[in-house]
Amino acid sequence: MAREIDWTDTEEIGIQLQEKFPEVEPYSVRFTDLHKFVTGLDGFVGDPGKSNEGLLEAIQTAWNEEYEDAKGL
């Protein structure tokens, strides 16, 4: 089973989002869709109602770092 992750595990979420959606450019994803992506990850145990704009921005930034690394940017 996947490790349990919560909203504050931004780096781990970024890694998992990159693995699950390798062709998606993170900054093109709306926060409503990002919320769905995160809550659908294996091992995600966070309360869906506990997200906020700051957390979603941090997750999107972490995902973008993984995306740029994977693309060699």
The domain locations on the chain are 10-71
The per-residue pLDDT for range 17-71, each reduced to its tens digit, is 999 999 999 999 999 999 999 999 999 999 999 999 999 999 999 999 999 999 9
pLDDT at 7: 96
> May I ask the CATH architecture of the domain 10-71?
Orthogonal Bundle (1.10)
pLDDT at 73: 84
Q: What is the DSSP track for 3-59?
A: PPB-TT-HHHHHHHHHHH-TTS-GGGS-HHHHHHHHHTSTTB-S-GGG--HHHHHHH
